[in-house]
Structure 1
């Protein structure tokens, strides 16, 4: 969806999105790259739902649309690929390399996280602003809290999927590949991109071009993350 278009109302719920993710998890082989990312993302989203239910977000009305819109963009990309349609560029590397035997599980998971934060989250902020009738600045606290949950996702990826310190050696290419990406820098860039897209909403052709460049850049970085590595 181009940023200039009116987004559909945020009518989906976290529960509906979670059901779609659980169905996807049940349908995919465990080693599939999408399954690897989906499994970790689902666990962290369920934890996020418990946080919202416990009142840890100051404005659950704002936090939920950000969470739901991000999840919907990811699931829509997977659905598009399954139906033979062209998914966003940010998701294409993971969808193309999802069964490559030379790509390791942490690479799949972090490539999915990068697509999610490097592209989807920025557009989700714009979607939520349109749906709620507010400015990005009004969602900054909620953006930061969703960002904190993405940090939890990264931590879970590293805890669940990364080899232990006795296995992950300095000379291992995976160490260098994964160490070259910073979630904090990606999150800062995403907030700037969201604010820029909102400012460009009255210039739809420029906003569309900006969105395409953002998508392409996220796709390029994702492709590098999925470089096949020797065992």
Structure 2
């Protein structure tokens, strides 16, 4: 069910370990591997910021990070069990082995599903669990994560630009249009608006499920557009996940959630 909220007992260290397991279990050219690699890097940055005390309520952000990741893991598990991914995630999982789709398209499709659909659900679940409202204080820490995401996005773009510069004019324009069609900052702003829309519905399960289901449907449609083949052929050197630093070998000590 697309609207299911996952409450688990993972820690952020466990999140990184699970991401590493997912990466190691997939072929390098798998679209889910491409997304997971980028997501793992973002999570490492969040862990660093938590350890540095950059959030007003680090315990909330830490728990949000875990609840958020578990929504992705739930879809990985569903597909591994032979079931369909949630509607928002289907474009990524169904195109994961399509050699006509550039890995960065898979990354965008994963971000689309995770931010435009999962993020609002994770914020609401974390607020309910911790007995707080999604108020200005929660929103302030939510916005602080944007700076963390910008750091990860800069790394990914740095790895892509040398290849992008070598593309023929028409293909370069196609990729430029694709990259310009998705903005992490805009997606997160929309996710917060979704939080504000869904929060009053949290005690009305039928209405909440219908609203979240409609969001999943729209997000899934956008995902289909993001994984539509954009190039005549994907260069062989770019059929693997984006080049990023290897996973960290240590877990920073954080406060209990």
TM-score (structure 2 length as normaliser): 0.82
Shift in Å at residue 93 of structure 1? 0.6
Structure 2 stretches of 5 or more lacking a match?
234-257
8 Å contact 2:113–2:220 — kept in the other structure? Answer: yes
SS class of match (2:219): helix
State the Cα deviation string for residues 159-210 of structure 1 (Å, max 9, x = none): 2245445225653211112212222221111101011111111322111111
Residues 82-93 of structure 1 mapped to structure 2, 5 A cutoff: 82-93=80-91
Q: CA RMSD in A?
A: 2.0
8 Å contact 2:6–2:70 — kept in the other structure? Answer: no
> Of residues 46, 56, 76 in structure 2, which corresponds to 1:58?
56
State how far apart, in whole Å, the 2-side matches of 1:75 and 1:8 are: 10
Shift in Å at residue 36 of structure 1? 0.6
Moved more, 170-179 or 71-80: 170-179
Structure 1 stretches of 5 or more lacking a match?
none
Residues 181, 170 of structure 1: alpha-carbon distance in 2 compared, 3 angstrom cutoff: farther
TM-score (structure 1 length as normaliser): 0.91
Q: Highest relative contact order (Cα 8 Å, sep 6+), 1 or 2?
A: 2
Tell me, yes or no, if structure 1 residue 75 matches structure 2 residue 85.
Answer: no
8 Å contact 2:92–2:106 — kept in the other structure? Answer: yes
| Aligned positions, number | 229
Tell me, yes or no, if structure 1 residue 160 matches structure 2 residue 162.
Answer: no
